[in-house]
Amino acid sequence: MVAGERETAAIDIPAAPQLSADGDGTVQASSPAVTGSHTQQKPGDPTCEQPESEAPSSPNVKHGKKIPLLPLVFIIFYEVSGGPFGIEDTVNAAGPLLALVGFLIFPLIWSVPEALITAEMGTMFPENGGYVVWVSSALGPFWGFQQGWMKWLGGVIDNALYPVLFLDYLKSGIPALESGWPRVLAVIVLTLLLTYMNYRGLTIVGGIAIALGIFSILPFLVMGFISIPKIKPRRWLAGDVHHVDWNLYLNTLFWNLNYWDSVSTISGEVKNPKRTLPRALFYALVLVVLAYFFPLLTGTGAVPLQRDRWTDGYLADVAEAVAGSWLGWWVRAAAAAANVGMFVTEMSADSFQLLGMAERGMIPELFARRSKHGTPTVGILLSASGVFVLSWMSFDDIVAAENFLYCFGMVLEFVAFVRLRMVAPRAQRPYRVPVGTVGAAVMCVAPTALICAVLYFSTLRVFAVSVAAIVVGLVLQPCMRYTERKGWLRFSTSQDLPDIRFREAR
């Protein structure tokens, strides 16, 4: 950004108050004339000044109940984690010591900054669309669209994994699910069933998340207490830094501790988001870190180290060795249930993101249409279709490709966060990270360095596929605007939404 630059790229949004800065830097609002279509607006006359204690409100959601605190905590829990399933590869890649250190240090470097940024930006723009709106406000609609494309595609790639993992945990008891047409049919039926749960509404999703969260966490609490007499602390110190698979290690940590920003795409469905969202993020952060570290600590301390056996599902074998087959089967059932929870919460985030983009006129308005349950039907169907198409990818490729796209999206979020601190320092922020503009920039340095490390260790295949996906997004946005100009598809912007254009305070 040029140091003397004074304005961000404007986003043409009709029927919304324009936010700008007066002589002393105070953000004010003005209301343009209502046009009723997605066309360029002319600035109107100033009518009112928004008080510092308020943020632009989300559009009125009259479809179903809004999400209170407890369901939101567990929705975030499943969007990020779902429990200690999939953490085994960190031990395989680096040994117990680095695995334990990773799940203590990585949250400080990555999860805490991302959660803080989500709390500030999510309450500043409490509407569906989340991070797409943040980037659009700071960098303009073109980059907002790229953010939406990369995050949606990464989310769908991620979701393609969960039906497959669900069946992997059941195939030891039902061998027919291991391969062939029975497995294909099971994936299809399971995906359709979980898609229907999303269609029924976020109240259903929140209730499912609470029930599955409790069921998934309990066996590891039981395992932890039973394993205490068997724990040998020297086992935690085992590790050889000269034989570390850094690609697997970093990607596994990153995959298990990212997506804190996903909750922002359903901010418009949250009850009192300005208060509820920061609290939910804090409680979920504590829950996620404990849900990873405690089972890893007890599991690596209770059984002799065999690094090659620490792969997906090995915690069930550890539980069986500690307490017997009953606990091993409980862990397997909890793992299967966790994949259900992660699927429904991820699909909710993906589909409501598309709804938010449609409400902002970025994609056709048909994505903004809701079912009788208040859910974005077209977004759900498109996300489910993507899951079917991408389910052929291997686990490692899914994780790496998702992380690659996610990294680029997070860079845009960091830039948007710092940019808005610079151009709109006095804009209403119900929750504000307690640092200045310089502190905000410094806060993004360590996560950005981590992103560079993840990208550096990516394989050539993943790099090629991810870059191709990014190029598709760069071409798709101009194509959307072309179809709008030709009238082939209808685009419109919700008149209930506030303007997101900021001008730099002087």
Burial label, 54 (beta-carbon count in 10 A; 0-12, 13-18, 19+): exposed
Domain boundaries, position 335? 18-486
**Predicted pLDDT at 412:** 95
Which pLDDT value is given to residue 146? Answer: 95
Summarised one tens digit per residue, pLDDT across range 185-237 is 888 888 899 999 999 989 899 999 999 999 999 999 999 999 999 999 999 98
Cα–Cα dist 130/261, whole Å: 8
Q: How many CB atoms sit inside 10 A of residue 234's CB?
A: 7
Question: Residue 161 falls within a domain, yes or no?
Answer: yes
User: Is 492 domain-assigned?
Assistant: no
Q: Classify residue 368: in a domain, yes or no.
A: yes
First to last CA, the chain: 17
Task: Give the Cα separation of 404 and 415 in Å (integer).
Answer: 17
Number of folded domains in the chain?
1
pLDDT at position 393: 62
pLDDT of residue 52: 38
Q: Is residue 506 part of a domain?
A: no
Residue 52 domain flag:
yes
| Residue keyed to tokens 């598709």 | 472
Identify the DSSP state of 64: S
Parallel, antiparallel or unpaired: strands 27-30 and 18-21: antiparallel
For residue 281, what are its two tokens? Answer: 């993020």
Angstrom CA distances, 251 to 152, 387, 402, 456, stand at: 19, 21, 10, 11
For the chain, residues with pLDDT lower than 70 are 1-64, 172-173, 391-400, 501-506
Residue with tokens 């240090």: 105
Q: Rounded to whole angstroms, how far apart are CA atoms 315 and 62?
A: 44
Residue 480: HSE in the Cβ half-sphere, 13 Å Cα cutoff: 21
The whole-number pLDDT of residue 397 equals 65
CA 297 to chain centre: 26
The span from the CA of 139 to the CA of 5, in Å, is 13
Both structure tokens of 252: 């596994």
pLDDT of residue 277: 96
Question: What's the CATH number where 280 sits?
Answer: 1.20.1740.10
Which pLDDT score, from 0 to 100, does residue 48 have? 35
Class of residue 84 by CB neighbours under 10 A (exposed 0-12, middle 13-18, buried 19+): buried
Q: Check: pTM over 0.75? Answer yes or no.
A: yes
- Domain assignment present for residue 498? The answer is no
Helix (H) or strand (E) holding 368: none
Please provide residue 494's backbone torsions phi and psi, each rounded to the nearest 5 degrees: -60, 130
Phi, psi of 47 (to 5 degrees): -120, -30
Q: Could you tell me which of 373, 375, 353 has the C-alpha nearest to residue 363?
A: 353
Give the pLDDT of residue 392. Answer: 65
Positive or negative, the CA dihedral 322, 323, 329, 330 is negative
The pLDDT of residue 502? 60
495 vs 35, 37, 250, 319, CA distance in Å? 9, 9, 44, 55
Check residue 282 and give its pLDDT.
Answer: 97
The half-sphere exposure of 451 on its side-chain side, counting CA atoms within 13 A, is 21
The answer to whether position 480 is within a domain reads yes
d(CA 137, CA 10) in angstroms, rounded, equals 8
CA distance 376 to 11: 24
Angle of CA points 224, 226, 228, to nearest 5°: 70
- Residue 126's alpha-carbon distances to 44, 56, 177, 357, in angstroms, are 24, 7, 43, 14
Please name which of 311, 78, 69 lies closest in space to residue 215, comparing C-alpha atoms.
78
Whether 149 is covered by a domain: the verdict is yes
